[in-house]
Amino acid sequence: MPVVQLAARRAAPAVSAGPAIAGAGCGPHALHGPDRSWPETNCSVDLWIELLGALGREPAAAMAFAVTQDFEGDQFTFFKIPAEDLERLYGLTLLELSVFDRLESHVAEQLGRGRVVLVEADGFWLPDTQGVSYRTEHTKTTIGINRLDEGARTLEYFHNAGYFRLQGEDFDGVFNRLPGQRSDATMFPYVEFVKLDQPALDEARLRAAAKDLLYRHLERAPSSNPVEAWRPRLSGQLQALADRDHNAFHKYAFNTARQLGANFELLASFLDWLAPGEGSPYAEQRAAALRIAHGAKTLQFNMARAVARGRHDGLNPHLDALASDWEACVPALAATLGA
């Protein structure tokens, strides 16, 4: 990034725009309800749940991809809604925003066109992460910007399980405007924007499209049990955390037990939406997915105890149950559908 460009940025006039979604901020979606085992999943899917809810679309319809989750060696798949699913189900086009000038100006341009802008941001400057990373730790996360007022230094954004507002120094921090944040070596953040101008499908067509996507994702589901793949690695990975601080365990648990449990709780919600009621052909698979969600939370608690005690031999019964429930969920679902 040339020095002359930085100077041009500092001299640029303030901009403001938005909101792209007028009805934002009406409260968390039911998929983030307090009755769930995992009220929050990860920054990507949580943002989309709230964004889709604000648009009046059904987020549960997008969760068929959950059947593809695998154990990746050091973590379970950090699951995201595929861009092609968002376009198929909701008519939403997700595109990369090429940032070559002031990020604030790019955001204002897209907001002015009625689009939400997804920005890779530092959680250190996000007040909704109070008690987690706000003003304590620099973490990478994604926010969906819906309104920007550079003159007032305020920003409204989707993040995690809600819709929030920041201002002042936090605004400057998010846009790397504070002293020492920028240099010739500073890289632009990764930014995308969502085009919202396509009409929504009616409910019948939405269910048909979601079921078709389920077939396609089952073709990409793991060919072997991911919980069994995790089993021989878990003890060694926990042992490596023994001499590190609690934050190291929290990050490990987030990327393993939490991603596993949250993923399958979303799959259960998808199956419940796809065919609700006691007569659902997917009732047994939905129940198995919920057991994985609950079981992963219990396992996470026992993982913390194992690290504290230095003994990991008590985790196998929990893994046995999770592995069995995975077989009763994903392969059984494929068999039910003939996929």
pLDDT digits (tens, 9 = 90+) for 78-91: 999 999 999 999 99
The pLDDT > 70 percentage for the chain reads 96
The reply to whether 20 and 88 lie within a common domain is yes
Token pair, residue 53, equals: 């809810």
pLDDT in tens, 153-167: 999 999 999 999 999
pLDDT at 24: 82
Tell me: pLDDT of 134 over 80.
Answer: yes
Considering the domain boundaries, does residue 162 fall inside one?
yes
Question: pLDDT-based confidence at 94, cuts 50/70/90?
Answer: very high
pLDDT at 183: 67
pLDDT in tens, 230-284: 999 999 999 999 888 888 999 999 999 999 999 999 999 999 999 998 899 999 9
Question: pLDDT-based confidence at 225, cuts 50/70/90?
Answer: very high
pLDDT at 337: 95
The reply to whether 191 and 239 lie within a common domain is no
3-state secondary structure of 97: coil
- Determine the Cα–Cα distance for residues 70 and 75; give it in Å rounded to an integer: 9
Tell me: pLDDT of 3 over 90.
Answer: no
Give the number of other CB atoms < 10 A from CB of residue 78.
16
Tell me: pLDDT of 101 over 50.
Answer: yes
Considering the domain boundaries, does residue 118 fall inside one?
yes
Q: Which H or E run includes 3?
A: helix 3-11
Give the structural domain span for 285: 222-337
pLDDT at 5: 39
The reply to whether 191 and 235 lie within a common domain is no
Considering the domain boundaries, does residue 82 fall inside one?
yes
Domain boundary at 195, 230, 254, which?
A: 195
| Residue 96 CB partners (closer than 8 Å, separation 6+) | 190, 191, 192
The reply to whether 188 and 246 lie within a common domain is no
Token pair, residue 177, equals: 């405007």
- Determine the Cα–Cα distance for residues 291 and 278; give it in Å rounded to an integer: 17
| Residue 102 CB partners (closer than 8 Å, separation 6+) | 9, 12
pLDDT at 313: 82
**What total of structural domains would you count in the chain?**
2
Closest CA to 302 of 288, 287, 289, 319: 319
Tell me: pLDDT of 205 over 70.
Answer: yes
The reply to whether 190 and 48 lie within a common domain is yes
pTM as predicted: 0.92
Token pair, residue 307, equals: 């690290």
- Determine the Cα–Cα distance for residues 202 and 205; give it in Å rounded to an integer: 6
Domain boundary at 195, 210, 239, which?
A: 195
pLDDT at 278: 82
pLDDT at 11: 53
Mean pLDDT, the chain, as a whole number? 93
- Determine the Cα–Cα distance for residues 212 and 274; give it in Å rounded to an integer: 11
The reply to whether 180 and 235 lie within a common domain is no
Lowest mean pLDDT: which of 49-63, 66-80, 299-313?
Answer: 299-313
Question: pLDDT-based confidence at 185, cuts 50/70/90?
Answer: low
- Determine the Cα–Cα distance for residues 56 and 85; give it in Å rounded to an integer: 17
Considering the domain boundaries, does residue 17 fall inside one?
yes
pLDDT at 4: 35
